[in-house]
Amino acid sequence: MNAGEQTFVVVGASLAGAKAVETLRAEGFQGRLVLVGEETERPYERPPLSKGYLNGKDPRDKAFVHDSGWYGQHNVDLLLGVRATTLDAGAHTLTLDGFEPVRYSKLLLATGSRVRRLDIPGNDLNGVRYLRTLTESDALVDAFKPGANVVIVGAGWIGLEAAAAARNRGASVTIVEVDTLPLRRVMGDEVATIYRDLHVAHGVTFHFGAETREFRGSGGHLTGVLLADGTELPADVALVGVGILPAVELAAVAGLTVDNGIVTDAALRTSDPDVYACGDVARSMNPLLGKAIRVEHWANALNGGKAAAKSMLGQEVVYDRVPYFYSDQYEHGMEYSGYVEPGGYDSVVFRGDPASGEFIAFWVRDGRVLAGMNVNIWDVVEDIQTLVRAGYGGQSVDLARLADPAVPLSELA
């Protein structure tokens, strides 16, 4: 088939999907290009939903990936509010809710994640909220008022960022967490403690080791959150942030290999030669780390979308990036590069004093740097990623020099 007669379809009109269609056109793909998304907004980035937009610093429009005219100008058929319901990979056919099925030459699944919902009494009350979409962020902007009682269930990234935004808007915030510290599984005790102290210093109350039993209400509206120990926390709004699940349904019905995400090789190809996957939904082989991982972060959607597009065009792609993400909470801006399994390090080396609010933390195993997090210190990501690449390559560093801010990072790798 002539390249211009091909149809490439991308399912999931969010950051990964938008970057994929952008790259396909930039790389010269001239065939039909269809971008299908079940949300009604054009593709937007999600980080502002718990940060810039939610805390009032940035306008809503800043979240969009492209301006509204971009898709038409680049001849992309953008089908919004349309759910893809079935995939027949053998027949190269995707079924869409309310539309004619589409036959594709190549297909990209960028279906991302959905929130995990709490299955407890009262979860349908007005005021019980989740945060994944722009509309859900709009609702929180309205709810985070001065004096409002906000209870956050889950001290992960979304919960903590939303807590900071709610405090910024003058609400009272209580966080309920089953573990003993926030972010403990990802960060380990040493750094999790810093996040706890940061929020406590901003007036947040924590309940650790606490299980949420029930949402209580009156007249259909939330009034409180009941914990397993009998404590009832007054609540005008409860935001549940207890994790996400990859949206693998289409891949599963098509019989593609699915195992905690859609499994791909390092070129983002699934088990079907004409179907690719990227972003949150993909569990891709990362040759640098020597294992397949699923990354639920912005940079992976951005870069994975670009890489998948190139792979669909037949270019040689080895997606071996150092995982990267960032978070902003109050005055605490951080970037994290690397990958450490829970408990997979033997020490955390601090470069600079965490109490000063400006430092780098390195997660180290056998003298090898596996990850680094820079807090309020900028333009060091490249050096940190070089150290992580070296660490995964088996190279160790002198830990005393790693801890010494007087030694340039560039001299260590």
Closer residue to ligand FAD (CB): 11 or 369: 11
Q: Which of 20, 47, 156, 397 binds ligand FAD (CB under 6 A)?
A: 47
- Give the DSSP H/E element, type plus range, for residue 325: strand 324-329
Query: Is 111 near ligand FAD (CB under 6 A)?
Result: yes
Residue 12's φ and ψ, nearest 5 degrees, are 110, 100
Query: Is 330 near ligand FAD (CB under 6 A)?
Result: no
CA angle at 311 for the pair 306 and 313, rounded to the nearest 5°:
100
CA angle at 84 for the pair 86 and 253, rounded to the nearest 5°:
30
Query: Is 388 near ligand FAD (CB under 6 A)?
Result: no
User: Least distance (Å) from ligand FAD to the CB of residue 230?
Assistant: 31
Query: Is 297 near ligand FAD (CB under 6 A)?
Result: yes
- Other CB atoms within a 10 A radius of the CB of residue 71 amount to 21
- Dist. CA 157–CA 330, nearest whole Å: 13
CA angle at 289 for the pair 284 and 291, rounded to the nearest 5°:
45
Tokens of 333: 């801006």
Tokens of 290: 């020597």
Query: Is 15 near ligand FAD (CB under 6 A)?
Result: yes
User: Least distance (Å) from ligand FAD to the CB of residue 317?
Assistant: 17
Closer residue to ligand FAD (CB): 12 or 122: 12
Q: Is 189 exposed, middle or buried (0-12, 13-18, 19+ CB in 10 A)?
A: exposed
Closer residue to ligand FAD (CB): 303 or 368: 303
Name residues contacting ligand FAD, limited to 248-267 (CB under 6 A): 250
Closer residue to ligand FAD (CB): 38 or 177: 38
Report whether 25 contacts 66 (CB < 8 A). no
Integer-rounded Cα Rg, in Å, for the chain is: 22
Query: Is 132 near ligand FAD (CB under 6 A)?
Result: yes
User: Least distance (Å) from ligand FAD to the CB of residue 118?
Assistant: 16
Query: Is 14 near ligand FAD (CB under 6 A)?
Result: yes
Name residues contacting ligand FAD, limited to 19-38 (CB under 6 A): 36-38
User: Least distance (Å) from ligand FAD to the CB of residue 395?
Assistant: 27
Interface segment toward ligand FAD; rule CB under 6 A; list 104-112, 188-196, 349-357, 405-413:
104-112
Start-to-end CA span in the chain (Å)? 48
- Give the DSSP H/E element, type plus range, for residue 300: helix 298-312
User: Least distance (Å) from ligand FAD to the CB of residue 412?
Assistant: 25
Q: For the chain, what percentages of helix, strand and coil (3-state, to nearest 5) are there?
A: 25, 30, 40
Closer residue to ligand FAD (CB): 50 or 149: 50
Closer residue to ligand FAD (CB): 45 or 177: 45
Query: Is 384 near ligand FAD (CB under 6 A)?
Result: no
Query: Is 16 near ligand FAD (CB under 6 A)?
Result: yes
Q: Which of 83, 365, 389, 401 binds ligand FAD (CB under 6 A)?
A: 83
- Dist. CA 133–CA 155, nearest whole Å: 19
3-state DSSP call for residue 42?
coil
Query: Is 158 near ligand FAD (CB under 6 A)?
Result: yes
Report whether 152 contacts 241 (CB < 8 A). yes
Query: For residue 283, how far is the Cα from the chain centroid?
Result: 14
Query: Is 391 near ligand FAD (CB under 6 A)?
Result: no
Query: For residue 306, how far is the Cα from the chain centroid?
Result: 17
User: Least distance (Å) from ligand FAD to the CB of residue 12?
Assistant: 3
Which residues bind to ligand FAD, rule: CB under 6 A? 11-17, 36-39, 46-47, 49-50, 83-84, 110-113, 131-132, 158, 247, 250, 279-280, 296-299, 301, 325-327
